[in-house]
């Protein structure tokens, strides 16, 4: 069965510092990985995806993610955090046959001024 | 380009009633997905529709059902509501469902959700 795990419920970062939100995955076959962000009382916004190719994927709002096959990880990164980045972040893997996204439990990112 | 829209924004029902939630996908998208985001349970997949057919369903009882219309909009129906059905219901759409193969990896775009409260 495919799954993703986000080992940290909360990440606290000072504004201007780099941020990392961790995600590990377990899949059979090639992983199709996604990051989404959710602001309070809102739906999910797509940030980026990894399908194949370059291990460093660039996405929206200055975010990027690094795919590491040997460590089965897909960590989300940003060089310089903004207060407005504070939100709930979800890592997801696309089920190969069933179409659905399987989500991690989410990581609450808090960026303080 | 308009995003995924959902209605109503909020819905309050009592136990045993039925709820109907609606979703309009992004123009050109043929696949619609429904997810439940309940407190403490995270995001769980409910249903996937493509080209008017139900393609997959998650681990939910049969009282959760839906359909997709010829214009690709979709409806989620929840019968015999229970207190634990209280949640944010999210609809998402993507392009090239079956047409892109079951392995299609197009991203899903989400609507703002319908907050269902069961009293």
Q: Which residues of B touch A (CB under 8 A)?
A: 4, 6, 31, 33, 35, 42-43, 45, 48, 50, 55-56, 58, 90, 92, 97, 102-105, 107-113, 115
Query: Most A CBs within 10 Å: which of B26, B46, B103, as the mutation test of the A interface?
Result: B103
- Of the candidates A83, A77, A80, which has an alpha carbon nearest to the alpha carbon of residue A59? A77
pLDDT confidence of residue B97: 52
**Cβ partners under 8 Å of residue A10, min gap 6:** A107, A108, A109, A110
Contact A41, A109 (CB under 8 A): no
* Three-class secondary structure of residue A35 per DSSP: strand
Q: Is residue B20 part of a domain?
A: yes
Flag whether B74 is in a domain. Answer: yes
Q: Residue B78 domain-assigned?
A: yes
Question: Would the CB atoms of B90 and A43 count as touching at under 8 Å?
Answer: yes
Do the Cβ atoms of A12 and A112 come closer than 8 Å? yes
Give the pLDDT score at B106.
81
Structural domains in chain A plus CATH codes = 3-112 (2.60.40.10)
- Residue B105 maps to a domain: no
Q: Residue B42: list chain A partners with CB under 8 A.
A: 103-106
A60 three-state secondary structure = helix
Region B30-50 average pLDDT: 92
Domain residues for the domain of B54 are 5-99+111-118
In a domain? residue B104: no
Tens digit of each residue's pLDDT, chain A (113 residues):
789 999 999 999 999 999 999 999 998 888 899 999 999 878 899 999 998 888 999 999 999 999 999 999 999 999 999 999 999 999 999 887 768 899 999 999 999 99
Domain count for chain B, please give it. 1
Secondary structure class of A65 (helix, strand, coil): strand
CATH number of the domain residue B20 falls in? 2.60.40.10
In a domain, B82, yes or no: yes
At residue B103, the pLDDT reads: 47
CA neighbor of B35 nearest in space, from B62, B58, B16, B56? B58
Residue B59 lies in a domain: yes
User: Which residue from A43, A96, A104 is facing B113, i.e. has the nearest CB?
Assistant: A43
| E strands present in chain A | 3-5, 10-14, 19-21, 24-26, 33-38, 44-50, 56-58, 64-68, 73-78, 87-94, 101-103, 107-112
């Amino acid at each position: 069965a495919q799954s993703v795990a986000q080992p940290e419920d909360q990440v606290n970062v000072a504004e201007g510092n780099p941020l990392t939100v961790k995600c590990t995955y377990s899949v059979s076959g090639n992983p199709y990985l996604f990051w989404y962000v959710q602001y309070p009382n809102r739906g999910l916004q797509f940030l980026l995806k990894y399908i194949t190719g370059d291990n460093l994927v660039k996405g929206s709002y200055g975010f990027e993610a690094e795919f590491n096959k040997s460590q089965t990880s897909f960590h989300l990164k940003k060089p310089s955090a903004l207060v407005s980045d504070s939100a709930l972040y979800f890592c997801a893997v696309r089920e190969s046959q069933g179409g659905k996204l399987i989500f991690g439990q989410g990581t609450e990112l808090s960026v303080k001024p | 380009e308009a995003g995924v829209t959902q209605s109503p924004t909020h819905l309050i029902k009592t136990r045993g009633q039925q709820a109907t939630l609606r979703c309009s996908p992004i123009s050109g998208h043929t696949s619609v997905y429904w997810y439940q985001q309940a407190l403490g349970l995270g995001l769980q997949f409910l249903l996937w529709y493509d080209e008017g057919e139900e393609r997959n369903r998650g681990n939910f009882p049969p009282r959760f059902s839906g359909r997709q219309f010829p214009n690709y909009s979709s409806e989620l129906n929840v019968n015999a509501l229970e207190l634990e059905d209280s949640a944010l219901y999210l609809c998402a759409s993507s392009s090239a469902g079956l047409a892109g193969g079951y392995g299609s990896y197009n991203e899903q775009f989400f609507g703002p959700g319908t907050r269902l409260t069961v009293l």
